[in-house]
Chain A
Amino acid sequence: MDSALSVSGSPGSKPVKLRVWRQPTPDHEGFYEEFSIPYQKGLNVISCLMAIQRNPVNAQGKSTTPVVWDSNCLEEVCGSCAMNINGKVRMACSALVDKLEQPITLEPLRKFPLVRDLTVNRDRMFDALKQVKAWVQLDGTHNLGPGPRQSPKDQATRYTLSTCMTCASCLEACPQVTLENNFIGAAAISQARLFNLHPSGEMNAEERVHGVMGEGGIQDCGKAQNCVEVCPKEIPLTTSIAKMNRQVTKQVVKDLFFKEDEAEEPAPAV
């Protein structure tokens, strides 16, 4: 039975045209392969790629291998399926065919080592999370009662930052990020801010600031602001960068006058 939402396309509706980047291994030359998929209302890019799996034949009628791509949740919370669609980085699951110009061109992320076809290696993003120590230094999983109180306002700020799914859109759009360098990018900088905003996380704020100041750190940001434009979760990444820049400036001064781990004493009352 038909759903009240999705109605099958009429027999006359035009097939969907796709142009997909194919590259069997990083050492092979890449090329575009064209596909033609039967149209249905509500199709997204992932449904098209799934249709190719079920019938791996290109637009010229020639047998080919199924396209290799990354995806998982298909509802924009896992961060897997970022790719370039018609030249713009975005999540393939929420890229609806009806809203895209055809042929739909699918290309892998360019700022990450290619694995195959549309899949790339995004390890550098997870490594950056290590560099900025994006975690609360928990004593253990035993029961120690509730955590610190937080205002609904702080929660709202932290929640927004915490929806970052490490999809790599911000790095892909950033002019400073290249395949050769190690700029940690907006995502990790914003995560440092997230944990520095937490009442317990704040206790290790300096370590995180030092992480952000390290090699490939915040100083490499060129303030192009592309990151905030492309973030699928609309995370205020440039605000995060500005806030962390301020923390870094403070830290630089502090590092000049205090030893590491030394507490900053409150200013004497005048």
Chain B
Amino acid sequence: MAASARFTVVGGGLAGLMTAIKLAEVGQLVDLLSIVPVKRSHSVCAQGGINGAVNTKGEGDHPDIHVKDTLRGGDFLAEQTSVKGMCYAAPGIIYLLDRMGVPFNRTPEGLLDFRRFGGTLHHRTAFSGATTGQQLLYALDEQVRRYEVEGKITKYEHWEWLGAVKDENGRVAGSVAIDLRTLEIRTFPAVAVMLATGGPGIVFGRSTNSVINTGTAAGRAYMEGAIYANGEFIQVHPTSIPGEDKLRLMSESVRGEGGRVWVPKKKGDTREPLQIPESERWYFLEERYPKYKNLVPRDVATREIFDVCRNLGMGIGGRDGVYLDVTHIPAKTLDAKIKGVMEIYEKFVGDDPRKQPMVIFPGMHYSMGGLYVTFEPGKDGTPVPDSPRNQATNIPGLFAGGEADYAYHGANRLGANSLLSCIYAGMIGGPAMVSYAKNSASSAAASGTRLFELAKLFWTERFETLRKMDGKQNPYELGRELGDVMTENVTVVRHNDKVKRTVGRIREMKDRWKGCNVLDVTQNSNRSIVYLNQLWNMLELGEVIAQSALMRDESRGAHYKPEFQLPEPKTKDPREDPEWMKLWKVRHDKWAKTTIARHHPDGPQISYEPLSTPVLDPEPRWYA
């Protein structure tokens, strides 16, 4: 490898920007591709904070406890080496962001303040109001702009990644991308490519995700041979504001700062919430989980809210919705710590949450699953620094990080671990790409121009075909149908008959995709033709998610199948019930495996990979 080689980073969120910074910092040249100006990436939507066991509150917190909370929170399906590396790196990452100028909230002494979050009993979450993701993204965006001025990073904003260019040995030699404004298609030779392209929220139609989160790049990479792992693990956030265009997130920090979830004890109570006296309110999370109360992990809170509304029919006014109440907290405190989300509720619903309890309901939020990547474990149980195996997909030269990878969160992600995992993936992903390049004797330059010409030709012809699609089916309508069927059947509660029908429906939609109309045949900023291409990749991912969910006959983390629930243990702590432990062990041994999906034209080929647990032995997960 020459002293400085050319790399491609796809995606301008936290994972992509950190990868780009790590590459630029050691003198490499980076092409940074992003659908939107990187400052507008989906990381801005993260609200509550970023976890790190800095232990400033005299609670004896430690990275090992963070590891344990994360692995337990993920129901022991997370990749353990990466989790340990991430939790140990976390305090340093928070300090780094602090040095970059992130306006983290402070204690009266001027030190970083930390708040509580779900799935832990410690104050471990550093935060910047309730727009922490926005503030973190801006800090990295500013550093990237600095490198842009220095000529080390070249941004290609409003460009979308279409696919990889592979050499005759199957190694990635670069990418093909399209300019969303001119529809120019060109190739980007690179010694290694990082896909930090986010999650597939839009596959579920309405979610807390931004409109660009179609998962199209991950879907395409999967079609090109990359393994998609643990696709069935989809986090449904317990508290979101239902809306026609999207479900707006109401941060977990609202509960971290003392927000309480309740419904009226009387079914169908029509009184205004503040007219209902304390004794006639049912704080069901506090009652059912006296230790963690409103801060149980997200999958648990979501199922409880779902149960109260759908099974017990005790949602507000008999409909979907429970109260999230902060009216007992002084408005001044709320404004100092969670103003951002208070304003979102106020602007989009019209009520002031400082005076009126909010109405919320679970909404699709995050994909724990994603592109399969590896890590090289070191002696201390964390990834070996600079190992080319870190964040590497099964396609040589193709790396993945951020929500697009599968590794860090197992069956359920803990709140405030996503910003951390994105940044950590970039911190080890960038150096991994450099090491990979050093170890690869030949690279893009040696691959010859023919390869790139062919790749460009393939995509040019593909778009010409799309442009000629003049069927009756509206692609946006088809996308909405996909979202509806996924949300209805493959979110909080999964029944095999319904999930199976969903797989069938998606296959039928793939047929109907061929009868789509492109809606717009012009050249300038033609969004419809680009969407039509994305929609196919969304259908592919939807199929992976549904098929993976169908085949996993157990409940684990966010994946919940009532038909395959174990009976309730006889003791409060399940570990004290030996009969139940036997059942759990059999179940666990069968299913504590990573779901591996490989692309095939007839549908995803699913297999399971045994999970190694070098850091922590699995145990039943309970929060009561």
Contact = CB atoms under 8 A, between A and B. Distances in A.
B134 A77 contact: yes
A130 B41 CA distance: 19
Interface in B329-366: 336, 340, 343-344, 347-350, 359, 361
Contacts of A44: 243-245, 348
Interface in A137-179: 137-138, 140-141, 143-147, 149-152, 155-156, 158-159, 162-163, 165-166
Interface stretch (B316-324, B458-466, B544-552): B316-324
A75 B40 CA distance: 12
Given A4-B315, A4-B320, A78-B210, A130 B103 contact: no
B295 interface: no
B122 interface: no
Given A1-B319, A134-B145, A78 B100 contact: no
Given A43-B244, A115-B525, A135 B316 contact: no
A205 B452 CA distance: 46
Q: Among A47, A55, A126, A151, find the residue whose CB has the most chain B CB atoms closer than 10 A.
A: A126
Contacts of A152: 105-108, 110
Interface stretch (A64-72, A240-248, A257-265): A64-72
Contact of B317 (A4, A80, A156): A4
Q: Among A50, A135, A149, find the residue whose CB has the most chain B CB atoms closer than 10 A.
A: A135
Contacts, number: 219
A73 B95 contact: no
Nearest to A71: B211
B142 A136 contact: yes
A40 interface: yes
Interface string B100-136: 1101111111111000000000000000110100110
B42 interface: yes
A68 B210 contact: no
B456 interface: no
B103 A141 contact: no
Contact of B241 (A5, A65, A78, A149): A5
A141 B22 contact: yes
Interface string A1-30: 111111000000000000000001100000
Interface in B238-255: 241-246, 248-249
Nearest to B18: A141
A119 B527 CA distance: 12
A50 to B, nearest CB: 6
Interface residues of A, number: 73
A78 B35 CA distance: 13
Contacts of B108: 152
Interface of A: 1-6, 24-25, 40, 42-44, 46-47, 50, 53-56, 65-66, 68, 70-80, 93-94, 96, 115-117, 119, 122, 126, 129-130, 133-138, 140-141, 143-147, 149-152, 155-156, 158-159, 162-163, 165-166, 195, 198, 200-201
Top 9 nearest A-B pairs (CB, nearest first) are: A4-B321, A149-B110, A147-B98, A135-B142, A143-B92, A3-B242, A159-B103, A147-B99, A116-B525
Interface of B: 18, 21-22, 25, 36-37, 39-42, 44-45, 92, 95-96, 98-101, 103-112, 128-129, 131, 134-135, 138, 142-143, 145-146, 148-149, 181, 210-212, 241-246, 248-249, 309-310, 315-317, 319-321, 336, 340, 343-344, 347-350, 359, 361, 427, 474, 476-477, 480, 519-520, 522, 524-525, 527-528
26 contacts: A3-B319, A4-B316, A4-B319, A5-B241, A42-B244, A46-B245, A47-B244, A50-B245, A53-B476, A55-B477, A65-B522, A71-B211, A96-B348, A130-B148, A135-B146, A137-B146, A140-B25, A144-B96, A144-B99, A146-B99, A146-B112, A147-B98, A149-B109, A162-B138, A163-B340, A166-B37
